[in-house]
Structure 1
Amino acid sequence: MSEPGAKKRAVHCPGTPAVALPEETSPGAIGSGSVDELRSLTLAELKAVVGRLPESLRHIAEYHFGWKDERGRPVQGSPGKLVRPVLVLMCARAAGGQAEAAIPAAVAVELVHNFSLLHDDVMDGDATRRHRLTVWSAFGTGNAVLLGDALLALAFETVTALGRGSAGAFSDALLDMVQGQAKDLAFEVETSVTLSDGMTMAAGKTGALLRCACLLGALSAGADEARAVSFGEFGAHLGLAFQLTDDVLSIWGDPETTGKPVGNDLRTRKKTLPVLAALSSGTAAAERLALLYGRDPARPTGPDECGELAALIEQAGGRSWAEHSGQQAYAAAIAALERARPEAGAAVGLLALAEALVHRTS
């Protein structure tokens, strides 16, 4: 799974053999070369598909994707990470195919991801994303919901052009995502949420789409069902690791790099995975945390109290559990990728991208 003759460094996670990666694919270099090429392939087709929206929604979509500001003026800067479509195209290459054949799948995955972001921001009441106002904050709740619906319609229109069960896999992933989000909303009022419940929720809300991305990429390359499923398992485990990292950053990250206010999940007393792990620890800190989380939801949580909540979660072991569990999920992803028998050169990029996602700071 490594390039012949390349200078290597060892990456090891508990439970799997060390995997050697070339130096040039370190997380710091992940945004150059091949990844930029894959982003460009996706972005060109994504803009063409979004361009089919009616004008009333098109300019809002261009704002949401970061291509224009709220007045419709072009914005200079990064088009975004496009992690999910890059995974689609990388898995297509790793399964022995061409990235170009997987572009429709990559666009469909990115569209459904953004559908979920638009609706999640409304449901969670998040006012900022990517360092600026969310769509509902800038254009109203109705427009955010309608744009999300439109992107979902475009996603299905795009994916139905693919064969070999791609539309069915896409639909299954969407239903898992919706179920995961429904659980996340239910957790806000339920008082007996377990850590197992939280892991199931994360597997649906985040893991399902990354599973779908990797599965569709392999199918686009003509992989057989068993091999495609292994690529999907790689994505599912990577999605869980990604969510665990996201939950840690939502509490202890730097808002200058995350683009969202740190402590927002604590302000709303959201039961993220580090919180659920802390609550189940049986410690004195867990008792205090449960008391604070059990207060009237209508009662606002101030900055000082958010600081206390973060400290209690860390004292109760929630942060260390989340970080360790993220590494375990990453290890499971690497094992699944081994089972998929990826092409050596493409596997290098997938491994580097996976490592960067798990060890990111934003």
Structure 2
Amino acid sequence: MTSSLPLGDDRLEEEVLAELDDVERRLTEAAANANPLVQTPARHLMDAGGKRLRPVLVMLTSHFGSGINDDVRTAAVATELTHLATLYHDDVMDDAPLRRGAPSAQQLWGNSVAILVGDLLFAKASQMVSTLGPAAVRIQAEAFERLVLGQRHETLGPGEGEDAVEHYIDVLADKTGSLIAAAASYGTLFSGADETATDASIAYGEKVGVAFQLADDVIDLVSDAETLGKEPGTDLRAGVVTMPVLLLRARAAAGEIDEIGASILADLASDDEDVRATTLDRLRGHEVLDETRVLARRWAADAVAELDALPDSATKRALTAFADLVVDRLA
């Protein structure tokens, strides 16, 4: 879980960190109340910790209104449960051996259990959201729809004539941005924030989500297993295409590919996973990695720009710091 949260305001940091302790308690309770048949795997990812960025955003955006209250707290927990559910499903889709430094649930208990645990957590999140009223249920349902469609679009790939980089950004907006935007929507909804703050927060959350995932595309390649919590280059080995590879392909299509880049693409086209794995070091040293870093920082800056219509406040400054945290991991 998050042990430090540099938001530029000591009072706000202390409040949010204290609230995160309650989030952890309620997440543990949700797993403890699961059916005994799945209780252990349901606790698995919760026990592994996490950044809890979505609950943090629910609580931060609530300060555009009256601040943190019981409905805000419930929404924060439900949003994190939804996120955890997607991780169980993602690990099945990607056949990931590690998650947050521990063996993934599907490695320990198999695909069927991992899928069912993900479904169970979605159900528990939905039960919580249902206590918050129809508007909250709609936010959850729309985010859930986008999560599913984002995964489907990623699996299918871009259509004929569709720009692959733009398609990928759309996938990131659906798979990551949608739930982070939902977190911002919950925070403003249940604190009674005005329409300007609500619209700005949701647009901010969407773009922060894209920035976060672009940063992860870089981190997946450059970090070691201990820091990353999973094997570096997991996507690369599995044949999952992320932004650095898409940028190489765009260069190739434009006739601007260099020799090393061409060799990387050739090896990635191999059906041999071992051959694909050898491209990791070469891709780490290629300039498309820096290009992806620039894209991540640009999306974070664009997210902050969505707050321009709002007056200066500790909350606005905290959200700026939050966006910086997303991309500071690239250092």
TM normalised by structure 1 equals 0.80
1:292-333 Cα shifts (integer Å, max 9, x gaps):
23233x55436433323444xx2xx42122111111111111
Following superposition, the deviation at residue 280 of structure 1 comes to 0.7
Amino acid at match of 1:289: I
Q: Contact 2:237–2:273 (CA<8 Å) still a contact in 1?
A: no
Which residue number corresponds to residue 92 of structure 2? 122
Query: How far, CA to CA, are the matches of 1:146 and 1:341 in structure 2?
Result: 45
Amino acid at match of 2:21: S
Following superposition, the deviation at residue 188 of structure 1 comes to 10
Query: How far, CA to CA, are the matches of 1:87 and 1:264 in structure 2?
Result: 28
RCO higher in structure (CA 8 A, sep ≥6):
1
Q: Contact 2:54–2:80 (CA<8 Å) still a contact in 1?
A: yes
Which residue number corresponds to residue 287 of structure 1? 262
Answering whether residue 275 of structure 2 is matched by residue 306 of structure 1, we say no
Following superposition, the deviation at residue 341 of structure 1 comes to 4.8
Following superposition, the deviation at residue 361 of structure 1 comes to 5.5
Amino acid at match of 1:308: R
Which residue number corresponds to residue 360 of structure 1? 329
Amino acid at match of 1:38: E
Note the residue ranges of structure 1 that are not aligned, 5 or more in a row.
1-23, 68-78
Give the number of equivalent residue pairs.
321
Amino acid at match of 2:43: E
1:55-105 Cα shifts (integer Å, max 9, x gaps):
1112221122117xxxxxxxxxxx432111111111112333224430111
Q: Contact 2:267–2:275 (CA<8 Å) still a contact in 1?
A: no
CA gap of 1:310–1:339, structure 2 versus 1, over 3 A, is: same
Query: How far, CA to CA, are the matches of 1:259 and 1:26 in structure 2?
Result: 28
Q: Contact 2:172–2:210 (CA<8 Å) still a contact in 1?
A: yes
Q: Contact 2:64–2:197 (CA<8 Å) still a contact in 1?
A: no
Which residue number corresponds to residue 150 of structure 2? 180
Query: How far, CA to CA, are the matches of 2:192 and 2:275 in structure 1?
Result: 52
Q: Contact 2:248–2:265 (CA<8 Å) still a contact in 1?
A: no
Counterpart pick for 1:106 among 66, 71, 76: 76
Q: Give the share of equivalent positions with the same residue, in percent.
A: 27
CA gap of 1:93–1:26, structure 2 versus 1, over 3 A, is: closer
Which residue number corresponds to residue 18 of structure 1? none
Counterpart pick for 2:319 among 334, 338, 350: 350
Q: Contact 2:211–2:297 (CA<8 Å) still a contact in 1?
A: yes
Greater alpha carbon shift after TM alignment, 36-45 vs 189-198: 189-198
Following superposition, the deviation at residue 114 of structure 1 comes to 0.7
Amino acid at match of 1:155: A
CA-based RMSD: 2.8
Note the residue ranges of structure 2 that are not aligned, 5 or more in a row.
1-5
Greater alpha carbon shift after TM alignment, 197-206 vs 160-169: 160-169
Which residue number corresponds to residue 76 of structure 1? none
Answering whether residue 55 of structure 2 is matched by residue 88 of structure 1, we say no
